[in-house]
A and B are shown apart, each in its own frame.
Chain A
Amino acid sequence: MAKLIGTGISSVNYPTGMNLGGDPTQALIHMTTTGTFVISLASCDLGQGLKTVLAQIGAESLGVPIENVLIDTGDTDTGPHCMGTFASRTTHRAGNAIIMAAQEARKTMLEIAADELEARPEDLETDGQGFVRVKGSPDRKIHLVNLALAGHFKYGKTVAGRGIFFKPNLGIDPETGKMDPDSTEAHACVVAEVEVDTETGDVKVLKLQSVYEIGRQVNPKLVEGQIRGGSVMGIGHALYECTEPYYPIPEHRPGGFFEYVLPLAPDIPQMENRVLEFPSENGPFGVKGFGEMTANAPIPAIVNAINNALGTDIATHPVTPEVVLWALDAKQSKA
């Protein structure tokens, strides 16, 4: 009996978006007299930080500080349609819709500033600090609050914009499967190192080293969080989690967190993550969707590492101690 070390890799793709069935999402932007841009949506934040990254995309495309951008979402009476937060789609879809809406709002914003600054709109720029200014004359500038007040009370103009991202339903050829099931593809390669106890069947993931290529990062810390969170979920899927341990026998369903084994702090390995960025052709600022895939890639890397350690041919997950011991028995009886 021994503790054996093994390494394994996986290299995977992940498609961005729900592409088969029509995939629209809208955004509306309006500026209030406080100089704040309200981005109205119906997209849901599941804990991944959606409200933060969409505010960043809004601020960037409007050219204003992020403090002047509010995300107003989660109400079907006020938010325009979003298909939903799934399919690694929402940063891509809502982000594109926000850019489109921002362009329309920005146009009126610059027109009002042009009147106030006695300049032509094409000679103006935003400084990202809350001012619109004349290019080359940084002193000739107007703050967003003054601009908003002038637009409303002096010129009678609304600063607003409408945006939509729409992937039409292109159908699937039932004979050949010809279809368009992605908007762009993100990629990852994960290397896992594991230690397997051949007496108990227990597997410990020692190290996960991951490279993700996800177009452009909007928020690198949130990207890092997504990779770490997904890696831990991948460990759970690879080693512990199952609703029917003797599937397809439907019995023995765990009924809560005391019976359903999830990775805990001591199960979290050393992690090293690297992000490559090749901006996509159609994502906002080159974004690719990658929310889901960070839980996919670790699973085969870990199981390949277990097979590498033991010389087995395990082809299921989770690889519980029982699965390990049966695989070792099968290997021995074959030999």
Chain B
Amino acid sequence: MSEQSLNVVGQSVLRRDGLSHVTGKTLYIDDIQFPDMLYLKMVRSPLHHARIQGIDFSEAEKVPGFVRAFTYKDVPKNIYTILCLIGVGPDEEPVLAEKEVLFKGEQIAAIVAQSEEAAIEAAARVKLDLEELPAVFDVEEALKPGAPILKPWGTNYFVYEGHHCRRVRFGNIEEGFAKADFIVEGCYEPKPIEHAPLETTGCVAKPEANGRITVYTNTQALYFSMDNTALILQVPFNKLHFVGGTVGGAFGGKVDVIVEPIASLAAMHTGHPVKYLYTREEEFHVSSTRVAYRIYFKDGVTKDGRIVARQVTSYADSGAYNRHTPYAATKHAANISGPYAIPNVHIDVHCVYTNRVPTSAMRGFGVTSASFATELQMDKIARTVGMDPYEIRLLNAYRNGDMRPYQKVVSDATLVEVIKSAAEMVNHPLGKRFQAMTSWDRPNSPAQPEPVSAEKRS
């Protein structure tokens, strides 16, 4: 595609929905109102880990406007896991808790009422009889003998095709360490973070006269949420109709499929539209967070600055349930060697359950933590061998034609170019050897593609 032939790709066309957003004309979930709409509020666990002995709705039922309560017994397929759609299993998260709760804030019972105030009041009057159980919060503690076991299969970790962690094996790690002049170790601990969207997670499920349910939702993935909802409700996929596509901030926080199944269930049972929209506090207290990691590095480095071996043991804190974290841990394993050519790599990433709010997808999904750890480790290596932080990255940067540790040949690498460009931008001097480097300087490199330059744009 020659530059002259492009008309509109590459042009800063005015954003189509911008004016609508900034003038308040865009409709979000909380703008949706129907005259006979009901409101759903959740009864949540006040404890991190507990056995449910009983639930008493008698005081809640007396609240004027109370319509109905729902428990796990009302949910056709109560135990699910979101990524079952791409073959991840086993099912392990309840829509509504059954015998046990595994985190503070877990959904136990849904209250539906004629007003939001009545739903809040009724939910507050539900009496829970809970027996507190010992809880575990630290990923390494959770793997030790004697830790409270959270999963029916008897361990606190996700099983990857028979392995207790996601493995990456490349080259020979012991031979790599034998060639090293320095061993550089580090432990990196990125903390959990909230997506903090302006629009909280929510939906309105509306029963139609033809028997279908229309779900207005701010999900990031309409079919994904719809298919999961249909499986949980055990209804044909085409009984559901999902409408959305304009989301008030998401950052990965709106792919968990928490609100749609229970709102749809309530709509089916009551015959009314039902709104389930997180309060700001729910968004912060019970929605999934970014995955926290504890990442141990052991790198073998030669005195001229080459990384010849990398051994990483990383613990992904999944919180109480899978959600998207088993997949994130795999993406983390693929990227924890960084954008560098390292001939000997040995990686174990453990996806660990704790009694904390589940973690899940968030912008950068497994790579944010990998980039954080590898880049702090690069500076540590640079200090150890006494090299410039730009030059050590240029020296180790992967090139086109190199093999990634997951055994894929690199073909779109431009790390050398961005580092050199940044050095030039900030007037950081580079040695001649480093200035001459490119991402296409390996003997087996493919030809360098023609870069797009601003001058070629009309």
Q: Which of A's residues lie within 8 Å of B, judged by CB?
A: 7-15, 20-22, 42-47, 49, 51-52, 55-57, 59-60, 63, 65-66, 71, 73-77, 79, 81-87, 128, 169, 172, 174-182, 184-185, 187-191, 209-213, 215-222, 233, 237, 241-245, 247-250, 253-257, 259-260, 262, 272, 274, 276-281, 285-286, 288, 291-293, 295-297, 299-301, 303-304, 307-308, 313, 315-318
Which one, B3-11, B59-67, B175-183, is touching chain A? B3-11
Given known A86-B220, A86-B252, A297-B371, contact A9–B389 (CB-CB < 8 A): yes
- Are B418 and A212 neighbours in the complex by a CB distance under 8 Å? yes
* Interface 0/1 of B421-458, CB less than 8 Å to A: 11001101000000000000000000011111100000
Q: Which of B's residues lie within 8 Å of A, judged by CB?
A: 1, 6-18, 21, 48, 83, 86-88, 104, 137-139, 160-163, 166-170, 186-194, 196, 219-224, 226, 240-252, 255, 280-281, 284-285, 289, 292, 317, 327, 330-331, 333-335, 338-339, 347, 354-357, 361, 363-365, 367-368, 371-372, 374-376, 378-380, 389-390, 393, 397, 405-408, 410-415, 417-419, 421-422, 425-426, 428, 448-453
Chain A residues near B411: list those with CB within 8 A: 184, 281
Given known A185-B412, A187-B413, contact A13–B335 (CB-CB < 8 A): yes
8 Å CB contact of A12 from B88, B190, B375, B406: B375
Which of A79, A174, A249, A278 is most buried by chain B, counting CB atoms within 10 A of its CB?
A278
What CA separation (Å) do A188 and B16 show in the bound complex?
28
Question: In the complex, given contacts A76-B242, A255-B281, what are 20 additional A-B residue pairs having Cβ atoms less than 8 angstroms apart?
Answer: A8-B389, A9-B419, A20-B327, A21-B83, A21-B86, A42-B245, A47-B248, A56-B9, A60-B9, A74-B246, A177-B334, A187-B418, A189-B421, A212-B418, A216-B9, A243-B192, A248-B138, A256-B281, A278-B449, A300-B374
In the assembled complex, the CB of B334 is this many whole angstroms from the nearest CB of chain A, namely 4
In the assembled complex, the CB of B223 is this many whole angstroms from the nearest CB of chain A, namely 5
Which of A52, A75, A242, A247 is most buried by chain B, counting CB atoms within 10 A of its CB?
A247
- Are B167 and A253 neighbours in the complex by a CB distance under 8 Å? no
8 Å CB contact of B186 from A182, A209, A221, A315: A315
- Are B137 and A249 neighbours in the complex by a CB distance under 8 Å? yes
- Are A169 and B86 neighbours in the complex by a CB distance under 8 Å? yes
In the assembled complex, the CB of A32 is this many whole angstroms from the nearest CB of chain B, namely 18
- Are B333 and A177 neighbours in the complex by a CB distance under 8 Å? yes
8 Å CB contact of B376 from A260, A285, A303: A303
**Nearest CB in chain B to that of A295: its residue:** B363
What CA separation (Å) do A210 and B191 show in the bound complex?
24
In the assembled complex, the CB of B96 is this many whole angstroms from the nearest CB of chain A, namely 22
**Nearest CB in chain A to that of B221: its residue:** A84
What CA separation (Å) do A297 and B365 show in the bound complex?
13
In the assembled complex, the CB of A98 is this many whole angstroms from the nearest CB of chain B, namely 11
8 Å CB contact of B1 from A222, A259, A285: A285
In the assembled complex, the CB of B216 is this many whole angstroms from the nearest CB of chain A, namely 10
In the assembled complex, the CB of B226 is this many whole angstroms from the nearest CB of chain A, namely 6
**Nearest CB in chain B to that of A172: its residue:** B330
8 Å CB contact of B221 from A79, A83, A169, A318: A83
What CA separation (Å) do A14 and B163 show in the bound complex?
26
What CA separation (Å) do A63 and B9 show in the bound complex?
11
- Are B194 and A243 neighbours in the complex by a CB distance under 8 Å? yes
Chain A residues near B242: list those with CB within 8 A: 75-76
The A-B contact count (CB < 8 A) is 386
Chain A residues near B87: list those with CB within 8 A: 21, 169
Chain B residues near A79: list those with CB within 8 A: 222, 245
8 Å CB contact of B189 from A13, A288, A315: A315
The 9 listed contacts between A and B (C-beta, < 8 Å) are A12-B375, A45-B17, A55-B13, A86-B361, A174-B161, A187-B413, A248-B317, A303-B372, A315-B186
In the assembled complex, the CB of B21 is this many whole angstroms from the nearest CB of chain A, namely 7
Chain A residues near B407: list those with CB within 8 A: 176, 178-179
Chain B residues near A291: list those with CB within 8 A: 363
Chain A residues near B292: list those with CB within 8 A: 244, 247-248
9 shortest interchain CB distances as A-B pairs: A74-B245, A84-B221, A21-B86, A177-B168, A300-B375, A174-B161, A221-B12, A277-B452, A13-B339
- Are B365 and A292 neighbours in the complex by a CB distance under 8 Å? yes
- Are A15 and B9 neighbours in the complex by a CB distance under 8 Å? no
8 Å CB contact of A256 from B219, B284, B414: B284
Chain A residues near B186: list those with CB within 8 A: 315
- Are B379 and A66 neighbours in the complex by a CB distance under 8 Å? no
Given known A190-B422, A316-B190, contact A276–B417 (CB-CB < 8 A): yes
Chain A residues near B414: list those with CB within 8 A: 187, 213, 276, 278
What CA separation (Å) do A215 and B414 show in the bound complex?
10
What CA separation (Å) do A241 and B241 show in the bound complex?
36
What CA separation (Å) do A293 and B372 show in the bound complex?
12
- Are A84 and B222 neighbours in the complex by a CB distance under 8 Å? yes
8 Å CB contact of A187 from B249, B327, B415: B415
- Are B11 and A219 neighbours in the complex by a CB distance under 8 Å? yes
Given known A45-B17, A219-B12, contact A60–B7 (CB-CB < 8 A): yes
What CA separation (Å) do A317 and B372 show in the bound complex?
9
Chain A residues near B413: list those with CB within 8 A: 13, 185, 187
8 Å CB contact of B193 from A185, A243, A253: A243
- Are B169 and A176 neighbours in the complex by a CB distance under 8 Å? yes
Chain A residues near B191: list those with CB within 8 A: 242-245, 247, 316-318
What CA separation (Å) do A10 and B375 show in the bound complex?
6
8 Å CB contact of A46 from B48, B247, B339: B247
8 Å CB contact of B339 from A187, A303, A313: A187
In the assembled complex, the CB of B26 is this many whole angstroms from the nearest CB of chain A, namely 10
What CA separation (Å) do A302 and B25 show in the bound complex?
38
Given known A60-B7, A292-B367, contact A66–B422 (CB-CB < 8 A): no
- Are A180 and B379 neighbours in the complex by a CB distance under 8 Å? no
- Are A304 and B243 neighbours in the complex by a CB distance under 8 Å? no
- Are B192 and A242 neighbours in the complex by a CB distance under 8 Å? yes
- Are A10 and B371 neighbours in the complex by a CB distance under 8 Å? yes
- Are A292 and B364 neighbours in the complex by a CB distance under 8 Å? yes
Chain A residues near B453: list those with CB within 8 A: 277
- Are A222 and B12 neighbours in the complex by a CB distance under 8 Å? yes
**Nearest CB in chain B to that of A41: its residue:** B245
- Are A76 and B241 neighbours in the complex by a CB distance under 8 Å? yes
Given known A174-B163, A316-B189, contact A84–B223 (CB-CB < 8 A): yes
8 Å CB contact of B422 from A45, A81, A179, A209: A209
- Are B138 and A296 neighbours in the complex by a CB distance under 8 Å? no
Chain A residues near B1: list those with CB within 8 A: 279, 285-286
**Nearest CB in chain A to that of B327: its residue:** A20
**Nearest CB in chain A to that of B86: its residue:** A21
Which of A13, A178, A317 is most buried by chain B, counting CB atoms within 10 A of its CB?
A13
- Are B245 and A188 neighbours in the complex by a CB distance under 8 Å? no
Chain B residues near A299: list those with CB within 8 A: 190, 368, 371-372
Chain A residues near B21: list those with CB within 8 A: 47
- Are B104 and A250 neighbours in the complex by a CB distance under 8 Å? yes
**Nearest CB in chain A to that of B190: its residue:** A317
- Are A288 and B412 neighbours in the complex by a CB distance under 8 Å? yes
- Are B367 and A279 neighbours in the complex by a CB distance under 8 Å? no
What CA separation (Å) do A172 and B187 show in the bound complex?
27
In the assembled complex, the CB of A96 is this many whole angstroms from the nearest CB of chain B, namely 13
Chain A residues near B247: list those with CB within 8 A: 44-47, 85
